[in-house]
Amino acid sequence: MLDFEFFNPTRLIFGKSKHKEIGSLVKPYAKKILLHYGSGSIKRTGVYDDVVASLKENEVEFVELGGVVPNPRLSLVYEGIELCRKENIGFILAVGGGSVIDSAKAIAMGVPFDGDVWDLYVTRKEVEKVLPVATILTIPAAGSESSNSSVITNEETQLKLGYGSDKIRPAFSIINPELFVTLPEEQLAYGVCDMMSHIMERYFTNTLHTDLIDGLCESTLKTIMKNALLLKENYNNYDAWAEVSLAGNIAHNGLLGVGREGDWASHAMEHELSAIYDVPHGAGLAVVTPAWMKYVYKTNVPMFAQFAVNVMGVEGSLREPEDLALEGIKRLEEFFVKMGLPIRMPELGIDETNLELMAEMATGGNRGKESTIGKLKKLDKDDVLAIYKLAF
């Protein structure tokens, strides 16, 4: 086990109708807030009305900024920063999924920052001061409601970059599983793939002596798969949404990565897909992750055999660990297919045109200097290109 620090001060408020308490929860923090949301689905589902009613009841003033889209845009972040400065706002409430929350975090960093907030994403310099952010989660997927990270797309340069700091963990987050039944079914699939990826990026490691976190990762992955399939049968299953959304939270709150080296190559490779083709993050991950596995598993066959046996339920001879490993990868693909996810590039509408460019961008091109990605196996541009090609 490696040395580590873990700090997650986000208060998690979980359960039925909890979003209706938002006004009294916000009140101790601020009298006037920015209410940040997406394309307006919260208005169709009634969540917006619930939130506004609770804010008004508690005499919390708010200024609105909607319009966040998947792969949230830097231009809207700039707009939010301007708005908060003009309106003298010191608290941001994000009502939405990971995109809305990531956008809120970017605004929260940008308002007190003396400079261009995008530079933080490029340089990864530690931010000094951040406005407090709270969230009401409407899509269980990204885990941003408790995570220390934010991913923003600069639409001018087609760059999608992540930033991480414990300072941008939300002050509190509300997860009400009742809200998820109105999601389009593909959102469940994308969300499940995203949260599974957050675990697998941490799980696949060369670090030894990681019993506890291995076990926690494995049982969280199994919970997600079991309950995702239950939701395919009955989309109104509250308890299954509760399991999936709590698992999605734990998947990315940092706990499942302590004491071990994470990989994160699949996320880096996917970011280029969604930066250039604007595909849903979860869909891109379903395509890239199995290809990554096929390319790297020989680096650490026992790790992939353990995944096959302990997560995917593969039975077989431990004397043939490579067979186990390959069967595990196959089962993961089969699960993705069951969930209705794409597992090959053409299903995303991606051809070979930009593979070279994406491979270059993924391996440091997006930050202006060549580098490798991944830790289980360090991948250079040629490796990444080979993985992209394996996904056809």
Q: One symbol per residue from 8 to 47: x for binding its own copies (CB under 8 A), - otherwise; what is it?
A: xx-xxxxxx-x-----------------------------
Residue 239 interacts with its own copies (CB under 8 A): yes or no: yes
The answer to whether 376 and 383 are in contact (CB under 8 A) is: no
Residue number, 17 or 123, with CB nearest to its own copies: 17
> Shortest approach of its own copies to residue 91 CB, angstroms?
18
Residue number, 1 or 357, with CB nearest to its own copies: 1
> In this chain, which stretch among 91-99, 100-108, 236-244, 321-329 interacts with its own copies, using CB under 8 A?
236-244
Residue 124 interacts with its own copies (CB under 8 A): yes or no: no
DSSP secondary-structure letter at 155?
T
Interior angle at CA 167, CA 188 and CA 252, nearest 5? 25
Q: One symbol per residue from 187 to 226: x for binding its own copies (CB under 8 A), - otherwise; what is it?
A: ---------------------xx-xx--xx-xxx-xx--x
Q: How far apart are CA 41 and CA 43, in angstroms?
A: 5
Residue 5 interacts with its own copies (CB under 8 A): yes or no: yes
Residue 357 interacts with its own copies (CB under 8 A): yes or no: no
Residue number, 238 or 392, with CB nearest to its own copies: 238
Residue type, 293: M
> Shortest approach of its own copies to residue 207 CB, angstroms?
10
Q: How far apart are CA 4 and CA 187, in angstroms?
A: 33
Residue 234 interacts with its own copies (CB under 8 A): yes or no: no
Residue number, 50 or 218, with CB nearest to its own copies: 218
Residue number, 3 or 233, with CB nearest to its own copies: 3
Bridge-based pairing state of the strands 61-65 and 92-96: unpaired
Among positive and negative, which fits the CA dihedral 353, 359, 360, 365? positive
Among positive and negative, which fits the CA dihedral 92, 45, 98, 242? positive
> In this chain, which stretch among 72-80, 154-162, 239-247, 321-329 interacts with its own copies, using CB under 8 A?
239-247
The answer to whether 152 and 73 are in contact (CB under 8 A) is: yes
Place of tokens 């079991």: 226
Residue number, 2 or 337, with CB nearest to its own copies: 2
> Shortest approach of its own copies to residue 210 CB, angstroms?
8
- Interactions with its own copies, residue window 147-186 (CB under 8 A): none
Task: Pick one of 259, 316, 340, 365: the residue that binds its own copies (CB under 8 A).
Answer: 259
63, 4, 56, 8: which is closest to 37 by C-alpha?
63
What is the rounded end-to-end Cα distance, in angstroms, of the chain? Answer: 37
Question: Hey, what are 219's tokens?
Answer: 């049982």
Dihedral angle computed from the Cα positions of residues 275, 281, 285 and 287, in that order, rounded to the nearest 10 degrees: -70
- Residue 235 half-sphere exposure, CB side, CA atoms within 13 Å? 12
Residue number, 232 or 367, with CB nearest to its own copies: 232
What three-state secondary structure class fits 77?
Answer: helix
The answer to whether 320 and 328 are in contact (CB under 8 A) is: no
> Shortest approach of its own copies to residue 246 CB, angstroms?
6
Residue number, 142 or 228, with CB nearest to its own copies: 228
21 phi, psi to nearest 5 deg = -95, 10
Bridge-based pairing state of the strands 172-175 and 92-96: unpaired
Residue 247 interacts with its own copies (CB under 8 A): yes or no: yes
> Shortest approach of its own copies to residue 173 CB, angstroms?
10
Task: Pick one of 181, 258, 276, 386: the residue that binds its own copies (CB under 8 A).
Answer: 258
Counting residues that bind its own copies (by CB under 8 A) gives 38
Which spans of this chain sit near its own copies (rule: CB under 8 A)? Answer: 1-9, 11-16, 18, 208-209, 211-212, 215-216, 218-220, 222-223, 226-227, 239, 242-243, 246-247, 250, 255, 258-259
